[in-house]
Structure 1
């Protein structure tokens, strides 16, 4: 296992977000386009993987944990501006979330 310093960990901007919309990406079966709300006026497009396990609208409204300061990446013509965090079991995502009502944009420390 690779270890990281606390200083490296502190660079990660992990926050609470809500998936507010999703849509299929033409010609893609494993990824979809989503929009997340990080609170305030901060809404971002993201690529969401594991789409073969759910219909796009099934995850709308889900509160998730995201890496908000990940360098943008374009896939299938969509620029993703954050990454949803998930446990990966046999390539199926299990989205990390919070168990209580937490304000969108709240930092994870």
Structure 2
């Protein structure tokens, strides 16, 4: 069990995917995402292994949830600044977490 204060330390925000690029240098198929979190946080980049369920063009404009206060992680030649959140389907492939309605960019999950 953790205290609510521990949970509150994880800053999970909503952003909109504004750019998607192939990332052929990874061991598992992945995309490089550019995500807009609004004026307070700005634009951040993330690597995501989501190619099984998502074509690049369907990701553009999609709202997603991401942890914005983890340290950046170097993935080969790419610096991933946020952790885009998802859950595994029955085959272990990632399905993105996304608001069910349009919400303001940068909104904090609570």
Structure 1 length-normalised TM: 0.87
CA contact (8 A) 2:31 2:48 kept: yes
Superposed, which structure 2 residues align to 1:76-87 within 5 Å?
A: 76-87=76-87
SS at match of 2:5: helix
- Find out whether 1:107 has 2:105 as its counterpart: no
* Alignment partner, residue 5 of structure 1: 3
Structure 2 length-normalised TM: 0.86
- The 3 A distance-change label for structure 1 pair 27 and 87 is same
C-alpha offsets along residues 79-102 of structure 1, whole Å, 9 cap, x if unaligned? 111111112112211111112221
Give, in angstroms, the shift of residue 59 of structure 1: 1.1
Unaligned runs of 5+ in 1: none
- The 3 A distance-change label for structure 1 pair 76 and 32 is farther
SS at match of 1:35: strand
* Alignment partner, residue 46 of structure 2: 46
Higher strand fraction: Structure 1 or Structure 2?
A: 1
- Find out whether 1:20 has 2:18 as its counterpart: yes
CA contact (8 A) 1:21 1:57 kept: no
Instruction: Measure, in 2, the Cα distance between the counterparts of 1:98 and 1:14.
Output: 12
Unaligned runs of 5+ in 2: none
SS at match of 1:22: strand
Superposed, which structure 2 residues align to 1:29-108 within 5 Å?
A: 29-40=28-39, 42-89=42-89, 90-108=91-109
